[in-house]
Structure formats: structure tokens, C-alpha cells
Chains A and B, each alone.
Chain A
Amino acid sequence: MSDITYGQVATFNTHPEAAIPSESPLSVAFNQISVSTPAPAVNHASGVRLEEKAFLGHLILRGGAIVLDEAVRKVLGISLPGQPLGLALDESGERSVQWLSPDEWLLIVPGGEEFEVEQRLRDALGDAHYAIVDASGGQTLVSLEGEKARELLMKSTNYDVHPSNFPVGKAVSVVFAKSSLILRRPAEDRYELVLRRSFADYLYRWILDAGAEYGIGVQR
């Protein structure tokens, strides 16, 4: 394991080198539901398509906006969203930074990249006052697409998801189905939900139930 110490902070790669199978927060729900009643497959009539983007790298960045913006632009070429509730993506759309609070941002990168990105950010940040926490194991990202996706959200959260209030490039942390999650809109026709591991099973079942009337399909 490649341990590196930055000042007082010891970092380590959370990806096990031994071949230990990884399980996403939704693996239990996927397997249990497929035993009793199979998860509905996507077909041409599906008004909503659900797909889990498992094992992405989730990094929580905390610190001053100015130093973090410099470091993130240097390492990833993305500007930190300066406005509240902002969401910024890189050109490929695979890496994103979102505003969580005035001194906190969520950086999502493709799975396996997170440790290298974290190290490069630490190199770029130097002696600045900041914190980087790898939250990859604690949450997962689910994408919802389809013409009925917005109606599914309207049934589940009291946040106003009308395009006039929730345009592309906005990300909010909201009450959703009596639980909470992060709701993002990276593209016109796609919504992303960041679920906590402990809520993921419940929320997945809620979404399947709420989407039944729209013929929700699960992409595996």
C-alpha cells in the first residue's frame, strides 16, 4: 500500500490491493429484489431509466474558496463553482465539482482516480488550511433519465424541480422520501442522485415503487 504523509496527514489508498470483491451500496437491494421479484429491465416503454454509477471516487474538499479553486483548476482544469448550489463538470462530463456549503465542495471523479487526484490536490495546496476526505465508500451515485424522471422526483421531494428553479448546473441537498440525498442536474435530460450507503437500499426501493407507474427500468 502506497502510504504518503503530507505534514501531519497520513493518506492511504482505500482500494484494496488483494482481490477482495467490492460491493456497491445497492448490491444487497439488487440481489434481494432479483431473487423475489426481478428488477424491471429497460425497454422502449420505460418512462424512467435508472442506472447506478457504482465505485466512483467521491472526495469532500473543505477550505477557502480561493485556494481550493486554484488547486482544482490546476489538477483537473475545472473552476470551483463560486455561486451557492453550483455544479461544474469537465469537458468529458466524467469529473464534477459541486458546491455543498460556503466552505465545502464535493468532487466526483471516475473510480480508481480518487487517490491520485487527492495526492495531486495535496501537492497543489501545500501549507494552505484545508481538508480532503475520501467519501467514496460511504455514498453512491444513481442517474435517472427519461421523460418521466422529473415527475418521479416531484413525487419524492418537496423541492421545486421545475426547470425554472432547477436548471442544468444546479445541485442541491434536499429531503427526499423522508430521507435526504443530493440532487444534481448535470444535463438537460439527466438527473443524478448521490445516496448515502445507509439510505441507499431504502431509497432504491422507494424509487422503484414510485417509478412503477412510469414503467421504470433498471440498467444493469
Chain B
Amino acid sequence: MFYIHCPYCDEYRDEEEFAPKGQAHIARPEDPETCSDEEWGAYLFFRDNPRGIHHELWVHAIGCRKFFNITRNSASYAILETYRMGEQPRFSAEHPEGEPAEHGAAVNVVDEAGRVAGQEGVKA
């Protein structure tokens, strides 16, 4: 049983409240009309199945009902981090011990600015 930290509710909740939604960070091709069948098929159907660190999309179905990402080790079941939509993971197969803080900080600044701008947009 996982004990998952929801980045929106900002507390740990039981796995029972969550639902997994597959691999995270799958970008839809910018222009589907010009995609080859192979590119489109890869986008629709083909998913990674690594032994080790994997980024997954989950939804807090019974809590705040928001989607977010989990970095999880599929071999040990350890959850390394959870992070909001639009943010980048700190742990990855290339950086199993976590990326250097500078890089992570830069990502957060971009995200913070984006969120503040979004709120001002709502107010206007």
C-alpha cells in the first residue's frame, strides 16, 4: 500500500484515494496532420515499461481530484517524489540520486513566474 503525498492537498494520503493514469510527460504531437503513422502510433499506444525509475501520472480521485506526477522505482516500489503538473522531475533514470539543486531551482523559478502570471490573468 502506498502512502502518497498529494502536491495540491500538501499532505500524505492512502493509495485508496488515488488512481494511476499511466506514463507521465507524453506530449501530443504539435501537428497531428503531418505526423507519420509511426509517430502517431507511438504517441497513442507505445509506453515505456522500465525496471527502475519511472515517471507516472496519477489523480487524487477522492481528494482534490487533480492530476499530478509521481517518480517511482518500479523495482523497489519506492516513491522518490511527487510534483505538480507542468513541473519537471528532480529524479530520473539519468539522475537517480536527484539532479543538482541549481537545475531544480531554475525550474521552480520558471514555474513560480508562470503561476503568478496565470493568477493575474484570471483577475484581469
Contacts and interface: CB of A to CB of B under 8 A. Distances in A.
Interface of A: 63-67, 84-85, 100-102, 104, 128-129, 158-159, 172-175, 180
13 contacts: A64-B119, A64-B122, A66-B119, A84-B8, A84-B11, A85-B11, A101-B65, A102-B64, A172-B9, A173-B63, A174-B17, A174-B63, A175-B14
Contacts, number: 48
B69 to A, nearest CB: 15
Interface in B76-124: 119, 122-123
A65 B8 contact: no
Report whether over half of chain A's contact residues are helix, strand or loop; otherwise say mixed: mixed
Contacts of B75: none
A84 B119 contact: no
Contacts of A100: 64
Contacts of B62: 173-175, 180
Given A85-B11, A101-B66, A180-B62, A175 B119 contact: no
Nearest to A172: B63
A102 B8 contact: yes
Contact of B9 (A66, A85, A158, A180): A85
A176 to B, nearest CB: 9
Interface of B: 8-11, 13-14, 16-17, 62-66, 119, 122-123
Contacts of B122: 63-64, 66-67, 128-129
Contacts of A84: 8-11, 64
A128 B123 contact: yes
A125 B30 CA distance: 35
A175 B9 CA distance: 15
Contacts of A129: 122
Contacts of A65: 119
A101 B61 CA distance: 11
Nearest to A180: B62
A67 B10 CA distance: 23
